Structure 1
Amino acid sequence: MKIAYISSYHPRQCGIATFTHDIFSAISFNDTSPRIEQHIFALTDEGEKYEYPDEVVFSIEQQEEDDYIKAAEYINTNAYDVCMLEHEYGIFGGKSGAFVLSLLDHLHIPLIVNLHTVLETPTVDERSILMRIAHRASKIVVMSQFAIELLSRVYKITETKTLCIPHGVPQFVVKHRDAKNQLDLADRKVIMTFGFIGRSKGIDVAIRALPAVVNKFPEVLYLVVGKTHPNILKQAGEEYRESLEALVVELNLQNNVRFVNSFVDITDLSLYLSACDIYITPYVNEAQITSGTLSFAVGAGAAVLSTPYWHAKEMLAEGRGVLFDFNDSENLAAIIVELFSNADKLNGIRGKAHEYGQELSWQKLGVRYLDLFEKVVLRETEKSAQNSITELIQELPEFDLMHIKRLTNHVGILQHARYATPNYHHGYCLDDNCRAMLLTLMAYETEPSEELCELMSIYLSYVHYMQMDNGKFRNFMSFANAFLDAEGTEDSFGRTIWSLGYLLKTAPLPDFYQIGKELFFNAVPHFRSLKSVRAVAYTMLGVVCYLEYQPNDKDILDELCTMAHYIANEYRQNSTENWRWFEKIISYDNALLPLSMLKAGKILKDDSLIEVGMKSFGFLDQLLFDKHYLSIIGNTNWYVKDSGKSKFGQQPIEVSTVVLLYHQVYEMTLEEKYLTRMVQSFQWFLGRNELNLSLYDSETKGCCDGLESHGLNRNQGAESTICFWISYLDVKRVLTTLI
């Protein structure tokens, strides 16, 4: 079996680097045959260079996203069987460590994830990233039972996917008295804290407890072993350590506190831990799910005193240690004095810790990890391609129009939201009500319900109210129900015809059909006056839907033919060998144009239209997938011919028609790569995008409004959410037919 580890690694001075080295060594120790091959893919922090050992075969520069993708490709092409990801937000690049998702998106082998941090109150990005990692993982390993409960409650990750394997500890071979002698501490009562130093560690709390202890036991020595955390060092220098040193002088403890300002190796660390009588973890808040220092101290058989953070409450239960309140130096001092005054009680705690620590040895845990690797690999190899499609469907979120209903009242659907709260200031628009009607019609085809009919009726009523006597439509209306424009845009006209055409094809009730027919045919006289190619394309989609229901309507066939050749002529005037497009700019809802040409060409049986559709599709396809994921044209400056395309300002409206376009091309060619790209396009909503962040909000059932250079636009308006659910329904319908 060939194992790839994604982690920081020695000689980088990092707790996770040490952890990964210990797993690597434990697996090697337990492998009694040459069947195991292990390699490290090491995260290298920005601006640093390390002389890595031979097991490191790939270095991933923290802030270089391409390195993550290249690492995945290396793993895929070099016959690895399983990948272990050591996850901690801070060691990966991108916002909240999002770059690691690029690696996972391209990884083709089973994944096991070791979570070193599980936050109870994550940011939106942190929660989204962890949920995506969990979604990709075959198994998630945590180091405490409380972490499993957190994953279930906060991140909705099922307990069947999680496994608790405690933090391992080394073998402590030097006896307590011998260790003291080697360190020339035989005549001292030794208290210790080790690890990276920072304010969150609460070392000042422990120092403030010492005067009362020293007053009774002047031989006490508090060892603070460890360097300032590298990130803190970059930002604030040695400010905290210097404040601790000043505190020691202020309290006259120079003889009782010793700082060992170095990142000690495992041999020296084992010696220090074996020598200590009492170990303290005085962390200042409870949100610590794993503490390697705590595990090491228990493994060494020290009497551990700790504030009641999550891991400590679990680890020190049943008399294996003593808890004291956060920032309570007085209580800590009383506990230390009591233990040094009562040798039997002190030794009793040490004995229970030592007994428990025997089960934490890396030699024993190495067996558990090796067994986990083998089970995951076996299970994954037994899966069939058919199961993969089934699983893909199961991994889709449940269809839920909660946010659509939140934005809808008796008048129609509101345009915008402030985050997920309806924003009354901007009122309603025809565009969104037509999109909402299209969505409810598509949903009704899959699973009819009275609720969908009720929503459909609201949106159809809005369309009816906005049509003027001449057959055109207004677009905008205030929340106070006042018209805001004399006449709507051509695009809003075209979108309306698209939804009305779909209604005429699929109307669930006769009265819906009758009013839809009136609205549709009242607007027909304006079809040929449209100039915007997108307005014409939207209208063509509606006409195609109508003709799929009434294929012999010659007058409407003529309208479709005229519109299709109008767009084809625009293509011929603007396209060149290297620019196969309908305009000199690629702007918004671009997939709509080749989609309308392909659909019109099919129903008109006109190969020239299909040729235009396929050529423009091929050009757009290259632009959309010039990376390993869908990267749509942003609206910052769009993509003007002979200029660069905008990276940000990516909006969901683009993606919904991209999904529909790949569906159409797959249906016409039956080439599997287009089915794959259809699914990949939908995954843009779920985080396979420029920022590796999910736009879909599983809590609100809404969709964020776009990708910006600063992150997500977290407003969840009608357009974005409707486009998400339209894409969802189309993808699910296609995948369901493949089972």
Structure 2
Amino acid sequence: MTTTAPAPIFDHLLRMTDHRGTFEHACFAEPRPEHGYCTDDMSRVLVVATRQPHADWDVHRLASVAVRFLNEAQDLTGACRNRMDSSGRWADEPTLEDCWGRCIWGLGTAAAHSKVAWVRQSAIVQFERAARARSPWPRAMAFAVLGAAELLTVAPELRAAHDLVTDYAASVAEPNANPSWPWPEARLTYANAVLAEAMIAAGVALDTKPLWQRGLDLLEWLLGHEAADGHLSPTPAGGRGPDDVRPAFDQQPTEVATLADACARAAAIDPRQIWPDGVRAAAAWFQGANDAGQLMWDPETGGGFDGLHADGVNRNQGAESTLAVLSTLQQAQHFSAVPQ
């Protein structure tokens, strides 16, 4: 038996994007410009656009729009604004929250993988500016480390990236020695897999096996905890604790995409079948292998549905959900048509 993941389809994302950026929200498939844009989404746009193999002109244009948006989002200190209104005015002040970390993730990915020279060059300049800062927020730092690790694969001498990874590695807390709940937090919250993925990425970048092995161990536990009855049952928007009833909703597509990214990274250093299986399970979640048996994307346009509820699907196709589909299917392409 073989499995073949659908190819990513960029039609809906392109429809959601104008000259400034990608609109954050949609009403069903219709973009809602009045809600504006956000750095979190534009960072994800830069990731999926620059790691798409054999990208066409339209996808390269997405990367160009994204890298310009992130440049405008950055303060001279490296901190980032997150929200821009529909007229192009920033609606918040620069911070070192998740938008900062995701910005660095996008820039590092673009610098490592974009086929467009000016996008690579601009991404490096912006990366070095943002990477001077450090965030107190664990997920912000974890996303930033992913970008730094990507950049180090093509520029191992880049001091800003190396220092960011080194500082992150020094900040990782020791394991909690609780075999029933080894997670470093009392509850799973959001983008959980990025914490494990960052440990793997930093461990590989620094050639520190205990760190990457800890990331693998945590990710293996998380993957088992996020599965039920042969499919993924991800942490809902309200989080999940050790004794919470399952399944639970509202399930967000971005949780599935984060898990797929982490499993793909794990597969690069650990040959066990668990990691390709994890990526394929993430792709299958969008195709209906989930707690409600519902399709979570539009296979005609590539739009992703915004949430899985106990009583059905939120069929709005916002940027975050659409990018989650694209990201997951990109990862699944690497593991398609593999014997089971």
Q: TM-score range by the shorter chain?
A: over 0.9
Among 189, 193, 205, the alignment partner of 1:587 is 189
Is this contact kept in 2: 1:420–1:700, CA < 8 A? no
1:155-554 equivalent positions in 2, closer than 5 A: 388-389=1-2, 392-393=3-4, 396-443=5-52, 446-488=53-95, 490-527=97-134, 530-554=135-159
Q: 2:166 aligned with 1:558, yes or no? A: no
Q: TM-score, normalised by structure 2?
A: 0.94
Contact 1:474–1:485 at 8 Å: present in 2 too? yes
**Distance between the aligned counterparts of 1:647 and 1:692, measured in 2?**
14
Q: Which one-letter code corresponds to 1:683 in the other structure?
A: A
In structure 2, what is the equivalent of residue 290 of structure 1?
none
Query: 1:652 & 1:554 partners in 2: Cα distance?
Result: 35
Q: CA deviation at 1:509?
A: 2.3
Matched to 1:460, the amino acid is V
8 A Cα contact 1:638 1:646, kept in partner: no
Which of 719, 722, 730 aligns to 2:320? It is 719
Distance in 2, Cα, partners of 1:518 & 1:436? 19
The structure-2 alpha-carbon separation of the partners of 1:614 and 1:397, relative to structure 1 and needing over 3 Å to count, comes to: closer
Per-residue CA shift, 1:37-80, capped at 9, x if unaligned?
A: xxxxxxxxxxxxxxxxxxxxxxxxxxxxxxxxxxxxxxxxxxxx
Q: 1:725 & 1:691 partners in 2: Cα distance?
A: 21
Measure how far apart 1:489 and its partner are: 5.3
Match of 1:578 among 180, 203, 211: 180
Pair 535,672 (structure 1): closer, same or farther in 2 beyond 3 Å? same
In the superposition, relative to structure 1, how do residues 494 and 575 fare at CA in structure 2: closer, same or farther (>3 Å)?
Answer: farther
2 CA distance for matches of 1:485 and 1:552?
35
The alignment partner of 2:32 has SS state of strand
Aligned to 1:707: 308
Structure 1 counterpart SS, 2:201: helix
Tell me the amino acid that sits aligned with residue 614 of structure 1: L
Of structures 1 and 2, the one with the larger relative CO (CA 8 A, separation 6+) is 2
In 2, distance between residues paired with 1:438 and 1:402?
Answer: 17
Alignment-mate amino acid for residue 115 of structure 2: P
Q: How many Å apart are 1:476 and its aligned residue?
A: 0.1
Q: Is the 8 A contact 2:279 2:331 kept in 1?
A: no
Q: Is the 8 A contact 2:9 2:301 kept in 1?
A: no
Provide closer, same or farther for how the CA distance between residues 725 and 599 of structure 1 changes in structure 2, counting only shifts above 3 A: same
Task: Name the counterpart of 1:628.
Answer: 230
Structure 2: how far apart are the matches of 1:418 and 1:627? 32
Judged with a 3 Å threshold, the aligned counterparts in structure 2 of structure 1 residues 597 and 610 are, in CA distance, closer, same or farther, namely same
Determine which of 254, 263, 282 is the counterpart of 1:653: 254
CA-CA distance at 1:699 after TM superposition: 3.6
Structure 1 distance, partners of 2:275, 2:131, is: 34
* Closer/same/farther in 2, CA of residues 668 and 409 from structure 1, 3 Å limit: same
- Residue correspondences, number: 339
Determine helix, strand or coil for the equivalent of 1:526: coil
CA distance in 2, matches of 1:586, 1:641: 9
Secondary structure of residue in 2 paired with 1:715: coil
* Superposed displacement of residue 618, structure 1: 2.6
Aligned 8 A contact 2:77 2:133 in 1: no
In structure 2, C-alpha distance between the alignment counterparts of 1:638 and 1:484, rounded to whole Å: 28
CA distance in 1 between counterparts of 2:95 and 2:33 reads: 20
The answer to whether the 8 Å contact 2:111/2:151 transfers is yes
CA distance in 1, matches of 2:197, 2:78: 26
Q: Are 2:289 and 1:688 aligned?
A: yes
How far the C-alpha of 1:644 sits from its partner, in A, is: 4.3
CA contact (8 A) 2:143 2:194 kept: yes
Distance in structure 2 (CA, Å) of the matches to 1:577 and 1:397: 37
**What SS does the aligned partner of 1:703 have?**
coil
CA contact (8 A) 1:502 1:545 kept: yes
Deviation readout 1:105-135 (Å, 9 max, x if unpaired): xxxxxxxxxxxxxxxxxxxxxxxxxxxxxxx
Post-superposition shift, 1:646? Answer: 6.4
TM-aligned CA distance change 1:701 to 1:642, over 3 Å: closer
The residue type paired with residue 501 of structure 1 is G
Sequence identity (%) = 27
Structure 1 residues 711 and 488, CA gap change in structure 2 (3 angstroms): farther
Matching residue's letter, 1:464: N
Contact residue 473 and residue 487 of structure 1 kept, 8 A: yes
Report the alpha carbon displacement of residue 453 of structure 1 after superposing the two structures with TM: 1.7
Report the residue type matching 1:679 in the other structure.
R
* Partner Cα separation in structure 2 for residue 460 and residue 663 of structure 1: 25
Counterpart residue type for residue 522 of structure 1:
R
- Measured in 2, the distance between the counterparts of 1:641 and 1:605 equals 33
Quote the residue 2:298 is aligned against.
Answer: 697
CA 1:617/1:673 → structure 2, altered by over 3 Å: closer, same or farther?
A: closer
SS of match in other structure, 1:702: coil
Amino acid in structure 1 at the alignment position of 2:308: L
Do the aligned residues in 2 keep the contact of 1:547 with 1:557 (CA within 8 Å)? yes
The residue aligned with 1:310 is none
Tell me by how many angstroms 1:665 deviates: 2.6
Whichever residue aligns with residue 681 of structure 1, its letter is: A
- Determine which of 328, 331, 334 is the counterpart of 1:733: 334
What amino acid is the match of 1:556? A
Correspondence 1:106-125 to 2 at 5 A: none
CA contact 2:38–2:83 (8 Å) conserved in 1:
yes
Q: Partner of 1:63 in structure 2?
A: none
Gaps of 5+ in 1: 1-387
Deviation at 1:593?
A: 1.0
Instruction: State the match for 1:376 in structure 2.
Output: none
Q: What letter corresponds to residue 429 of structure 1 in structure 2? A: C
SS of 2:90's equivalent? coil
* CA drift at 1:488: 4.1
Superposed displacement of residue 733, structure 1: 2.4
The one-letter amino acid of 2:118's match is D
- Decide which structure has greater strand share: 1
Q: CA RMSD in A?
A: 1.9
Residue 575 to residue 696, structure 1, CA distance change in 2 (3 Å): farther
- Contact 1:411–1:458 at 8 Å: present in 2 too? yes
- Amino acid in structure 2 at the alignment position of 1:407: M
Structure 1 pair 583/702, CA: closer, same or farther in 2 (3 Å)?
same
Runs of 5+ unmatched residues, structure 2: none
Distance 2:154 2:7 in 1: 30
CA distance in 1, matches of 2:338, 2:70: 33
Instruction: Tell me which amino acid in the other structure corresponds to 1:707.
Output: L
1 CA distance for matches of 2:221 and 2:278? 15
After superposition, the C-alpha distances for 1:454-484 in whole angstroms (9 at most, x for unaligned) are 2211111111111122221111011122211
What is the DSSP-based 3-state SS (H/G/I as helix, E as strand, rest coil) of the residue aligned with 2:25? strand
> What is the CA–CA distance in structure 1 between the aligned matches of 2:162 and 2:264, rounded to whole Å?
24
State the partner residue of 1:640: 241
Over residues 320-364 of structure 1, what are the superposed CA-to-partner deviations in whole Å (9 max), with x where a residue is unaligned? xxxxxxxxxxxxxxxxxxxxxxxxxxxxxxxxxxxxxxxxxxxxx
